Amino acid sequence: MNESMGNEEGRRLTVFLVDDHAMFRAGVRAELGAHVDVVGEASSVAEAVSKIAATGPDVVLLDVHMPDGGGRAVLDAMRRTHPQVRFLALSVSDAAEDVIGLIRAGARGYVTKTISPEELAAAIRRVADGDAVFSPRLAGFVLDAFASRPDVPVADPELDQLTNREREVLRLLARGYAYKEIAKELFISIKTVETHVSNVLRKLQMSNRYELSRWAADRRLV
């Protein structure tokens, strides 16, 4: 995936960091410096909302757990007024309710904080391009949530079910395959893989499946 990073569009991406841990922000800033421009950082929800509006970055790296409502509050405040800003959730938590809650609030991807700098840069690039980023665990959650259960009626087949291809792509993601490897495995182009994942993201955000709303509702904010 390394070749997909860097200066595809002839300019460096602008990234904004939202995290209440200064040490973590400094670490990410240092790691990403080679790949993107970090144009600002914030440690609280209010600070993030005002500074993101002022700087207008391509991508916001958003911590899930913060005081005053966490990443969810930032998303709720920014989504309507700044639809061009893309959000990538970044968290130490692997809990389903955190992940699904953020995605449904509008984040275009989710990665854990243990991700390598190169992978994080690739994820930022992907989100900036309008695609989605799924960690293996998120792919697993989605497969779990969309597992067809006979007792649950499907209200909207277009939104509430995954196609076989989408399922295959998610399985490979969960098995640790990169997009390029998935494309090779399924004999499709990387662009097609990205389309499948974006479709899954849309379903994840729009579907009213019980499991999804339950996870989103259960979401705890620490």
Partner 1 sequence: MTIGVHDRGGTISTAANLPTRRLYRPRDRRIIAGVAAGLAEHLGLPLLAVRIALVVLLGFSGLGLLLYAAFWAVLPQQIPTGQTPTRRDFGALLPFGAIGLGVVLLQTLLFRDSVAGTVGWLIAVVAVGAGIIWHQSDPTRRGQWGDTLPQTPWLAAVVAESDRRSFLFRFIGGGVLVATGIIGVVAVYAPTGNLTSVLNGVIFAVVGLLGVGVVAAPLLWRMFNQLRTEREGRIREQERAELAAMIHDQVLHTLALIQRNSADIKEVQRLARGQERSLRNWLYKPTASDTERFAAALEQAAAEVEDTYAITVETVVVGDTECDERVAALVAAAREALVNAARHAGVQTVSLYAEVEADELSVFVRDRGAGFDLSGVEDSRHGVRGSIIGRMKRHGGRAAIRSAPGEGTEVRLTLPTARDSMTAGKETAR
186 residue type, one letter: L
Part of the chain binding partner 1 (CB under 8 A), chosen from 1-9, 57-65, 167-175, 196-204: 167-175
CB of 117 vs partner 1, minimal distance in Å: 14
**DSSP per residue over the chain, as a string?**
-GGGSS-TTSSPPEEEEE-S-HHHHHHHHHHHTTTSEEEEEESSHHHHHHHHHHH--SEEEEES--GGGHHHHHHHHHTTT-TTSEEEEEES---HHHHHHHHHHT-SEEEETT--HHHHHHHHHHHHTT--EE-HHHHHHHHHHT---TTS--S-HHHHS--HHHHHHHHHHHTT--HHHHHHHHT--HHHHHHHHHHHHHHHHH---HHHHHHHHH----
Contact yes or no for 194/126 (Cβ under 8 A): yes
Residue 149 in contact with partner 1, rule: CB under 8 A:
yes
Sign, CA torsion 194/195/198/200: negative
Which listed range, 26-34, 51-59, 120-128, 174-182, lies at the site for partner 1 (CB under 8 A)? Answer: 174-182
Q: Does 65 bind partner 1 (CB under 8 A)?
A: no
CB of 185 to partner 1, least distance (A): 10
For position 175 contacting partner 1 by CB under 8 A, the verdict is yes
Tell me the window of 122-130, 154-162, 171-179, 196-204 that interacts with partner 1 (CB under 8 A): 171-179
Nearest residue (CB) to partner 1, 47 versus 181: 181
CA distance 5 to 35: 8
- Pick out residues in 121-140 that bind partner 1 (CB under 8 A): 136-137, 139-140
Is 94 one of the binding residues for partner 1 (CB under 8 A)? yes
Q: Binding to partner 1 by residue 1, rule CB under 8 A?
A: no
Q: Which two tokens stand for residue 105?
A: 């609030």
* Residue 114 in contact with partner 1, rule: CB under 8 A: yes
Distance of closest approach, residue 137 Cβ to partner 1, in angstroms = 5
Region from 18-26, 64-72, 153-161, 170-178 binding partner 1, contact rule CB under 8 A: 170-178
Residue closer to partner 1 by CB (options 39, 95) is 95
Nearer to partner 1, 10 or 150 (CB): 150
Per CB under 8 A, residues contacting partner 1 are: 93-95, 114, 136-137, 139-140, 143-144, 147-150, 171, 174-177
